[in-house]
Structure formats: C-alpha cells, structure tokens
Amino acid sequence: MTPIVEPFPTTANPALAVERNRVLRNTYWLLALSMVPTVLGAWIGVSTGLARAMSPGIGLVVFLVGAFGFMFAIEKTKNSAAGVPMLLAFTFFMGLMLSRLVGSVLGLANGASLVMTAFAGTGAIFLGMASLSSIIKRDLSSMGKFLFIGAIMLLVAGIANVFLQSSALMITLAVLAIGIFSAFILYDLKRVQDGHETNYISATLGVYLSVYNVFQSLLALLGIAGTRDE
C-alpha cells in the first residue's frame, strides 16, 4: 500500500499559522495607530504653515534626510522597545511633510471633500489589496525587485519635477505611483502571510509608506482636477 505523504508537517503548521496571524494582526493595529500622528502632523503643518514656509528645494532636502534617517533608525530599533515610538515619530514627520499638499487642496472651494475623497479612495484600495493578499495562493516574492525599481524611478522623476514643475509629468507620476504602491501593499501583506516578514514593525513601515504614497498621489490628482474646474 502506498503511504500517504503530507506536504507539510501537521504539527508545525498550527504554530506557524498562529505566529503569522499574530504578525499580521499587529501590523494592522500598528498601521491604524500610525494614522493618528500622521493626521496630527498634517494638522499642525497646515495650521502653522511650517511646510509651506520652506522653499521646494529646502523642503525636498528636509524630506529626504528626515525620511531616510527615520527609516534607518526604525530598522535599527525594530526589535527593541524603541521601535514603535520611532515608527510613530516617523509618521508624525510624514504628516508634517504632507501638510503642504493638504493645505493647497484645502484652499480650493471643495478642498475638504477632495481630501475626504482621497482618504476614501485610499481606504478602498487598501481593503482591496488586503483582501486580494488573503485570496492569492502563489508566492509574489518575484514582484519585489520590479516594484523596487519602479519606486526608485518614480523617486528620481519626482525629484526632477520639483525643479521642472511640469503638470503633465506630475499627473503621469501620480497615476504610476497609485499603481506601483497599490501593488506594494499587496506584496508587503502577502510577505507577512507567507512568513517572509516576521517583524510587524518592519511590515507596518512598508505598508504605511505604500498607503501614504497612494493617498498623496490621489490627493495630488484630485487637487489638479479641482484647480482646473475653477
């Protein structure tokens, strides 16, 4: 009689599934918590005009130095008690940097509704990608390098457009960013579910950056459309 060979050890699967679910659950909770300092930072930035007071060039330098500095610090502290506070400080900083765009859109006649539309659109994309990540069974690891290359190209083109100030290029980059970072949400959540990412702080950082970029790109597109309608 041919023996029945199980594809995975049944004794190891339950514990593995529990651990992956724990990381995923903590990622979702920390992601939700990270929205609080982001909104607070954006509100303070809009109220004080801090981000708008900086020239585009200075703002770009502050953003790049601050963002990459925080990301380096988060990776260094992700296994310690300082990891979560460091991540929340980073999201506050990102909210401050977002305040220039938020303030510009709020200055439009229907600015508040545009911000809420961008928020709702980002939420819908996140829920869609989260649902898709739990349905897809295949390994999506091969997507990583292509998405990374795409993100780097977007960053370089975005930096160039700070000086070029091309509306057409801005629209193109915003559309591409929505597609690339939506795929990043799927990729990062699937990595947690497949056990490739076991640290919920690192997982939250990746998903947060993608959600942030999707929201920023949607808001930029809506803001451009709102400006043209006036």
- DSSP structure class, residue 194: T
Q: Is the dihedral of CA 155, 118, 110, 54 positive or negative?
A: negative
The span from the CA of 23 to the CA of 29, in Å, is 10
CB 114 within 8 A of CB 80: no
Task: Answer yes or no: is 203 within a domain.
Answer: yes
For residue 211, what pLDDT is reported? 96
Which of 190, 114, 86, 104 is closest to 147 using CA atoms?
190
Query: Does residue 113 lie within any of the structural domains?
Result: yes
Domains contained in the chain, number: 1
Q: What is the DSSP letter of 49?
A: T
From 228, 223, 213, 209, select the one nearest 102 (Cα to Cα).
223
Whether 225 maps to a domain, the answer reads: yes
**pLDDT on residue 177:** 95
With respect to residue 7, please indicate whether it lies within any of the assigned structural domains.
Answer: no
Residue span of the structural domain in which 184 resides: 13-229
- The residues of the chain scoring below 70 in pLDDT are 1-13, 226-230
What pLDDT shows up at residue 5? 40
- Is position 139 within any domain? yes
User: What's the pLDDT score for residue 6?
Assistant: 39
Q: Is 213 inside any structural domain?
A: yes
- What does pTM read for this prediction? 0.88
Per the domain annotation, does 1 fall within a domain? no
Residue 2 lies in a domain: no
